[in-house]
Amino acid sequence: MRRALGLARKAAELSEVPVGAVVVARSGHILSLAHNAPRGMVDPTAHAEILALRRAASVVKNYRLPGCVLYVTLEPCLMCLGAIVHARLETLVFGAFDPKSGVTGGAVDLTRLPFLNHTLKIVSGVCAQESSRILKTFFGERRQQGG
């Protein structure tokens, strides 16, 4: 999660919403690192989770990532949860809950929908205070700048 926090800080430096993500294989090997980049990539799907999953899938040459763990600093949104489920990740570890758009308990919990054909282990609140602080600082500065 420390690596993901560093990536979130890098995203903030680039004026992206500060979210970082890391995919780790069952062996403990880091498969991919990513941070939010929708503005820089001009791509609404360029969330940290999506980019990390794409890169990890490319490394293992398979769109399925069984046995892998995704560490992310902020609770995933609906789009990212869909990708996580399709990738068949074993575990999702996240920092801060997102009460506005989080879908693993923040705004709503969609992880136990009966029609989903994959369930994953979820560990929440890991480095939550630091994750929240990075986000609050980023948005506080944006408000002060009038943006």
Per-residue CA distances from 124 to 11, 44, 72, 115 (Å): 21, 25, 10, 23
Model pLDDT for residues 44-94, shown as the tens digit of each residue: 999 999 999 999 999 999 999 999 999 999 999 999 999 999 999 999 999
pLDDT reading at 35 higher than 70: yes
Mean pLDDT of 7-28: 98
49 part of the active site: yes
Tokens of 123: 């560990």
pLDDT at 146: 79
Average the pLDDT over 28-52 and give the result.
Answer: 98
Please spell the DSSP secondary structure of 47-85, one letter per residue: -HHHHHHHHHHHHHT-S--TT-EEEEEE---HHHHHHHH
Q: Of 49, 75, 130, 141, which residue is the catalytic one?
A: 49
Burial bucket for residue 110 (CB in 10 Å: 0-12, 13-18, 19+): middle
For the stretch 93-119, pLDDT in tens is 999 999 999 999 999 999 989 999 899
Residue 147 has pLDDT above 80, yes or no: no
Report which of 108, 79, 107, 111 is spatially closest to residue 92, judged by C-alpha positions: 111
